[in-house]
């Protein structure tokens, strides 16, 4: 199966890398300097990565944020991954999105996942009782 992140072209646009992961610009950027961090190994899900690979991804995240602050004058970031097809993961190779933000950005200027990840008409503030019930459900073994 063809994987765009295992494609050799990725090497040409790799900005930084370490033993387990690399950073490169997204070819479907939602903003200037939208970058992706991927493990070198073809692994779809975060939980399938080794602790070394997970640490390598966060190490690159820390470094690329500094680079984006210096080279792009980034003042903030949107950092996220989609896990599973149901959550919008379109490439079955783990990738962490890093989107630098600056004051006066065009495009998404008021980032709030509730505005576009969920159906706004379904969103309402939950009662404390409902929140406690969720807590109890998730604390069960
Ligand atoms: Zn791959």
- Domains of the chain, by residue range, sit at 9-139
What's the token pair of residue 61?
A: 């995240």
pTM: 0.84
87-19-78 Cα angle (round to 5) = 35
16 alpha carbon to ligand 1 midpoint, in Å? 18
H helix or E strand, kind and range, residue 35:
strand 35-39
Identify the burial level of 79 via C-beta atoms within 10 angstroms of its C-beta, where 0-12 means exposed, 13-18 middle and 19 or more buried: middle
Mean confidence (pLDDT) of the chain: 88
43 to 32, 54, 124: CA distances (angstroms): 27, 11, 36
Catalytic residues: 95
94 alpha carbon to ligand 1 midpoint, in Å? 8
101 alpha carbon to ligand 1 midpoint, in Å? 28
* pLDDT, tens only, 97-119: 999 999 888 766 566 666 666 65
CA distance 71 to 67: 6
- Fold of domain 9-139: HIT family, subunit A (3.30.428)
């Amino acid at each position: 199966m063809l994987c765009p992140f295992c494609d050799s072209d990725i090497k040409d646009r790799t900005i930084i890398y370490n033993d387990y992961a690399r950073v490169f610009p997204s070819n479907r950027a939602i903003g200037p300097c939208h970058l992706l961090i991927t493990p070198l190994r073809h692994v779809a899900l975060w939980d399938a990565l080794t602790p070394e690979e997970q640490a390598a991804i966060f190490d690159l995240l820390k470094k690329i944020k500094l680079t984006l602050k210096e080279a792009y004058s980034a003042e903030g970031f949107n950092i996220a991954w989609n896990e599973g097809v149901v959550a919008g993961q379109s490439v079955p190779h783990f990738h962490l999105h890093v989107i630098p933000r600056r004051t006066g950005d065009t495009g998404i200027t008021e980032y709030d996942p509730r505005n576009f990840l969920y159906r706004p008409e379904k969103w309402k503030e939950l009662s404390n009782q409902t929140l406690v019930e969720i807590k109890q459900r998730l604390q069960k073994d």
